[in-house]
Amino acid sequence: MIEKIRFTKMHGCGNDYIYVNTMEYEVADPQSAAIAWSDRHKGIGSDGLVLIGKSPVPEADYTMHIYNADGSEAMMCGNASRCIGKYLYERGLTTKTEIRLLTLSGVKTLQLHIINNKVESVTVDMLEPAFEDDNQFLANRGVSKGVFVSMGNPHYVIFTDNVDQVGETGRVLEVHPAFPQRCNIEFARIEADGNIRTRVWERGSGITQACGTGACATAVAAAYTGKAGRKSNIVMDGGTLSIEWRESDNHVYMTGPAEFVFDGEIEISKLQTK
């Protein structure tokens, strides 16, 4: 028997995902669905699959589960979290302009910036970064050119004039033995205007147009090493994200856009749905 699941394609600075509202549809095998649907030649085409659900705990309003294009599950995605905020508000699922989103790396608070009843941008409280002990761990294992920053998922930020080595070097470092769970790799260059040009190799997806957690990690690494202040504009292939690492609470705040691309239906066998 063939059933149809409705989906929405969205992107944040070009980082595109397929979104399914699991309050209406359930995907029993999201790993396989992510692989098949993300294929840009034979599927819908995306960097992965995002499932939106109702939170099972009172501390959050909704949940986000992310599956990369290779089927692996991600801990967090900043661009996807902004898209979920826009989706929930503009599709009439909530009237809140502050939404608590449960992810595998904790509850993230989304602040929606509304103009004419449309979500123009979203600020996400990405919580506190972690990096100090891990950098020593990596140096002891022969990886010492960059800065390790965890934003709920692992990032390794390399400051270099050659950000275009992202494909050649990123694919190698993602699976370096120093990163037993694999790693997201950022190549960043401080520009004359103070902005930070960054290209990203995402674990499980390869080169992506943007990475929200990667932008946060880059801004934190730049401030930590004295290359920038606590507020940075991170210029990625698909657009620019504004990042602030606040001294008052040590949290990282990410602000950027989210956009709808299109809605559609995809056929799925009965065995793949609950």
Q: Which residues are catalytic?
A: 77, 211
**Cβ atoms 207, 198 nearer than 8 A:** no
**Cβ atoms 108, 101 nearer than 8 A:** yes
Cα–Cα distance for residue pair 261/21, rounded to 1 Å: 16
Contacts of 173 (CB under 8 A, 6+ apart): 143, 156, 179, 183, 185, 201
Cα–Cα distance for residue pair 44/36, rounded to 1 Å: 8
Q: Which helix (H) or strand (E) holds 40?
A: none
**Cβ atoms 26, 271 nearer than 8 A:** no
Determine phi and psi for 120, rounding to 5 degrees: -80, -35
Helix axes 212-224, 78-90, angle to 10 degrees: 130
**Cβ atoms 114, 97 nearer than 8 A:** yes
**Cβ atoms 90, 10 nearer than 8 A:** no
